[in-house]
């Protein structure tokens, strides 16, 4: 019998209307109603104890690590509970985002002059512009749901987390949300691999619970960088520190198994920029993390299969990039989307140019230019604020990783994905560091003009 989600005309419907319809159908069953009641009770409890925002945000992020693709309903079928979660993951993540908005907006502004940074603000402008283009010219349902999702991600990860980031400890508490997501994501994949390893691997590449190898690789990459930072900055006596190391090592094994060259490059760039010439710190990470990775590889010997693809696969993007650029040349000012064509390719920059022309390309250039500038400013800040040095290193590494991964993946035009939520959280860290750098005693007055570009809270 055909899966109800596959009984749709196109795969694109699986990610929008079909998933919503399927979610509502499940919700109206006795089991769905019982789960909704229990979930509502859990949400109320989380709000009462004051943990609503981190719990809802983390749960939404975890849902987005499990995405539906064509192969995730055919060859990459997970064990029962994980597959059931994946079937409703996107609508559930939206519901959790909406639940997180109230505590996010209720968070006090604190002493930060600009709790919403300019990077997040301009990125939100581009994403809303893209979503309304989808709504007006391509798919009204997808565009409307995209605008709602984008607004939710911005309010929770840029506004909510931005307001909570008042000092180093509070920034680390926010980043620990991603560490907990990493623990859950690693555990879910390990369970799948131990119970039904064949369904976790597609064409020799690890797809895991993520739906396909590229998605799996990107989630691993972002989570590795967060866990590496927390391992490097938390005190040795903290058990959480060593849990982060173990998670980073296992995720490293999974990353190699995906055979994703883009995400291996992204992770390499991120770690290289994070450590740069700090060879002693890097040696500690390499030795400790390497031992975990070797242990994981010895447990899953097939994980080395991804190495062959990394070394031998040809150029898989040149042709689609060329077609997208030809579309841009045909309509350089407004792109091809107003003509009813949505041709997303594996590059945020090329997709923005092809679909929305110079107008959309310029809107996307602004936040990424500000991101690069903020990374340079963080590099200057670390020399005068030793207490923030490692956080500055983390932001520099993440900024480089985000710029690189968007050159080879179209995440910036995604309406609801794990990488986009993670990007907004990183932009919030950049906003915090910018406010710290704006203190007159910290930086020269020549750099204060950057503060005028901040988005008011």
Cα distance between residue 453 and residue 440, in whole Å = 17
Range of the domain at 196: 11-453
Closest C-alpha to 101, from 43, 154, 172: 154
Which residues does residue 201 pair with via DSSP β-bridges, in sequence order?
Answer: 206
- Please report the pLDDT score of residue 449 as a whole number: 44
- Please report the pLDDT score of residue 70 as a whole number: 67
Cα distance between residue 130 and residue 414, in whole Å = 9
Q: Is 366 exposed, middle or buried (0-12, 13-18, 19+ CB in 10 A)?
A: middle
Tokens of 217: 């690789």
**Residues 296 and 189: beta-carbon distance below 8 Å:** no
Residue 183: pLDDT band by 50, 70, 90 thresholds?
A: very high
Closest C-alpha to 426, from 233, 225, 241: 225
- Please report the pLDDT score of residue 440 as a whole number: 56
Residue 5 within any structural domain of the chain: no
Residue 148 pLDDT more than 80? Answer: yes
- Mean pLDDT computed over every residue of the chain: 85
Query: Residue 202: enclosing H or E segment and its boundaries?
Result: strand 201-202
Residue 6 within any structural domain of the chain: no
- 10 Å Cβ neighbour count for 236? 6
Quote the number of domains for the chain: 1
Residue 15 pLDDT more than 80? Answer: no
- Please report the pLDDT score of residue 312 as a whole number: 75
Taking the model in full, what pTM does it have? 0.88
Tens of pLDDT along 214-257? 999 999 999 999 999 999 998 888 899 999 999 999 999 999 99
Residue 365 within any structural domain of the chain: yes
Cα distance between residue 396 and residue 408, in whole Å = 19
Cα distance between residue 372 and residue 378, in whole Å = 10
Residue 3 within any structural domain of the chain: no
Return the SS3 of 49: coil
Tokens of 41: 């009770």
Residue 1 within any structural domain of the chain: no
Positions of E strands within 381-422: none
- Please report the pLDDT score of residue 117 as a whole number: 86
Residue 2 within any structural domain of the chain: no
Residue 4 within any structural domain of the chain: no
Cα distance between residue 75 and residue 434, in whole Å = 46
Cα distance between residue 382 and residue 396, in whole Å = 11
* Strand 205-206, strand 201-202: pairing: antiparallel
Closest C-alpha to 348, from 364, 371, 366: 364
Residue 328 within any structural domain of the chain: yes
Tokens of 340: 């009813």
């Amino acid at each position: 019998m055909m899966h109800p989600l596959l009984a749709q005309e196109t795969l694109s419907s699986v990610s929008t209307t079909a998933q919503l319809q399927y979610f509502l159908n499940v919700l109206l069953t006795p089991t769905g109603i019982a789960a909704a009641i229990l979930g509502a009770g859990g949400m109320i409890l989380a709000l009462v104890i004051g943990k609503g925002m981190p719990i809802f945000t983390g749960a939404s992020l975890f849902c987005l690590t499990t995405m539906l693709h064509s192969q995730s309903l055919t060859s990459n079928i997970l064990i029962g509970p994980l597959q059931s979660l994946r079937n409703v993951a996107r609508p559930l993540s939206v519901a959790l985002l909406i639940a997180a908005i109230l505590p996010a907006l209720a968070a006090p502004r604190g002493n930060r002059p600009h709790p919403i940074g300019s990077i997040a603000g301009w990125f939100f402008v581009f994403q809303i512009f893209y979503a309304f283009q989808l709504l007006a010219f391509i798919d009204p349902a997808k565009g409307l749901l995209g605008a709602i999702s984008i607004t939710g991600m911005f309010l929770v990860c840029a506004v909510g987390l931005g307001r909570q980031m008042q000092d180093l400890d509070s920034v680390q508490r926010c980043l620990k949300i991603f560490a907990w997501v990493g623990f859950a994501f690693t555990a879910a994949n390990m369970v799948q691999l131990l119970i039904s390893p064949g369904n976790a691997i597609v064409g020799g590449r690890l797809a895991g619970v993520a739906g396909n190898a590229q998605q799996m690789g990107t989630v691993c990459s972002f989570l590795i960088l967060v866990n590496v930072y927390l391992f490097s900055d938390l005190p040795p006596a903290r058990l959480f520190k060593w849990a982060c190391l173990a998670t980073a090592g296992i995720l490293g094994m999974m990353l190699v198994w995906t055979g994703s060259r883009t995400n291996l490059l992204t992770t390499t760039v991120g770690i290289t920029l994070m450590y740069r010439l700090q060879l002693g710190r890097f040696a500690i990470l390499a030795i400790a993390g390497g031992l975990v990775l070797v242990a994981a590889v010895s447990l899953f010997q097939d994980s080395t299969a991804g190495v062959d693809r990394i070394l031998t696969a040809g150029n898989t993007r040149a042709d689609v990039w060329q077609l997208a650029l030809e579309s841009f040349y045909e309509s350089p000012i407004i792109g091809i989307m107003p003509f009813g064509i949505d041709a997303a390719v594996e590059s945020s920059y090329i997709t923005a140019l092809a679909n929305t022309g110079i107008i959309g390309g310029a809107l996307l250039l602004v936040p990424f230019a500000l991101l690069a500038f903020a990374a340079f400013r963080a590099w200057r800040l670390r020399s005068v604020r030793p207490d923030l040095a490692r956080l500055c290193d983390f932001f520099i590494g993440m900024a480089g990783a985000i710029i690189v991964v968007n050159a080879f993946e179209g995440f910036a035009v995604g309406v609801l994905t794990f990488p986009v939520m993670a990007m907004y959280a990183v932009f919030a860290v950049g906003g915090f560091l910018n406010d710290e750098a704006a203190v007159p005693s910290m930086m020269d007055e020549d750099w204060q003009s950057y503060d005028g570009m901040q988005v008011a809270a």
